[in-house]
Structure 1
Amino acid sequence: MSEVTDLTVIEIKPEQAPVLYAPNGLDAFLEQIKQEVNEVPDLSTAKGRARVASLAAQVSRSKTAIEKPGRDYLKRLKELPKEVEAELRRFVTECDTIRDETRRPLTEWEAEQERIAAENQMLAWHEEALEMNSAFNAAAKLNFETDHEMALLMDAAFDRDAAEKAAEAERQRIAHEEELKRQAAEQAKREAAEAAQREIDAAAARERDATLAKERAEREAKEAADLAERNRIAAEQKAEADRKAAAEKAERDKQEAIAEEKRKAQAEADRIKREADEKEAARLAEEKRIADEAAARAANEKHRKVVGTEIVSALLGHTSLTREQAIEVLVALKDELIPRTRITY
């Protein structure tokens, strides 16, 4: 088996959530985890079994590292519709207020202009009636004595004309007032309709909020039930895994104890054999040393005899000494009794 390494630590950043927590968005992590646990540890060894347990635990840690930020992101998504709806309601209300406040000066100016126009029209009609009345009076005064009958006729005509103009002015005034009333009624109707629409929108928003809240509660209840079931299954699996792990550990401890006893016994046997071998080697070395020393002494004695023989022969050949005298000289030389002389063997 190749050298083992720890799995890469997985970290999910918040900005990655929209891309990762989407259909098939986590496939890359699944593939990474599969690749990093693609080992076949030797289960016959304690190291191999520990490696399998470590890989499985690292997969669980990687799962948690991906699941937790995903749950946080999902929780944020569940809260988002409520925040969006609240922000839209606030925005619509503010816009309506800004619109009404922005148009208020124009609305007030239009109402003032209509009032001024109505007053001016009434003044014009009044002045016109006064001018006609003045003209009629002047004409009547000039011709009263000469054409009293004509004056009476003109006066009647003037009265009819003035009455008609006054009636027309009154009709227009009434029509204007009716128009103002109609516009005010339409404005009130529009405002009532807008208020009703706002209330309808608010009711719809409340209904949507209630529906979302109900759906959220149902989802959360289902998720809680699913989580409880997953926790139950996980607890059962963990209990079973713990039981198996305990049994495996007991078996490992037993086997390791047996192996340790065997190791100790073998170590003791090896020690005894090693000591025996060392003693035997020491005995043989001592015997060899004694034999080598004896052989060396024998060889040295033999050599010394050869040298002695050569010296005695030389003394006999070059002097008048007898053999006994030559041997005496050899012994004196050997014992270094004669100064400045030494036998070199």
Structure 2
Amino acid sequence: MKNIIPKKLKDAKYRFWSNITITDVLIIAVWVGLTIMFIFGFQWKIWIKLLSSSIMILISLPLIIINKKTNLKGWQCLYYKINFLFSYKKYSKNKTSLLVPYNKVIDDNYIATHGILKNTLKKTLIGAIKIKGFDITLLSGEEQILRLRDLQDVFKFANFPITFLKLELSLNFDDNIKYLQKQINKTQIRYKNNEISFNQFVKITKQIKNNIAFLKKELIKINDEIKTEKCFFIFVYGNSQKDLSEKILFLEDKLYKGKINCNTLSNYEITKILKLMWNPYEKPLNKTDFNKNKDNLAKLLQFNYLNIKKNYFIANDLYYSINTIQDYPLFINDLW
């Protein structure tokens, strides 16, 4: 029968009036009783005793008034404050590395996490895919719908947990130029192996060299300014290397069918992204530090300073609001 009665109705039985409960009445009664006993123990005139008792009773009223900020009554706030002051602060001096769930790297493309509950939860493996799309507005109306449906299918048929991450990362022109120069070398090898014709070789090489020239001009133009690009990642989770590998291959297959370019990230690249999530403009993680700490990622990813408040927290001298407005809607509309 107790399970049938709504919770609010059950609570109502213990209320005297509005939000005044039996507990509130008992607290006020104890306060008033002790106050009167204390005041009447003095050899004062009766009117002084009555006035003092009335003042102390009025002082007790905030104990049963609800604080709008905390949604707690005065006596509850007082109890929690006293409890906090006298409680044993087990983790107050511990390192922030305890908050990092990532443990170590596995093979070339995975990261192992710590079990959330000791001896009760298996360690999870994490992998990630970087995706790069195209300007859908350049397509015809029918093509736009087809591409959106392809993207919709990726998330529709992925019946396992994934995390979609968007980061605004600073562009590194030097790395892009080095990458393009490597592409010229690869094109030369393809031509020597008769994989492409001479005309194709000239056309591809010319296009790459034009891109390099453009990047070098941009590099001179921006000087010390930070130029960014939107980067998109999908994080995938698995209980074993085989399980995770199958999930990543499934996603890559679906993305390629939707004409979306993607590539699996190495564990170094994943660690770099995990660090840049908190501050995209921070100096990227170098490979030397990564190799030194790849079996202890918590040390590598920990905050030097962390202070948590009700609506925000400060980590490494940066302010993070908990009430941040996101770029994307909470509910995805059809074909979004």
TM-score normalized with structure 1 length: 0.18
Larger radius of gyration: 1
Greater RCO, 1 or 2 (C-alpha within 8 Å, sep 6+)? 2
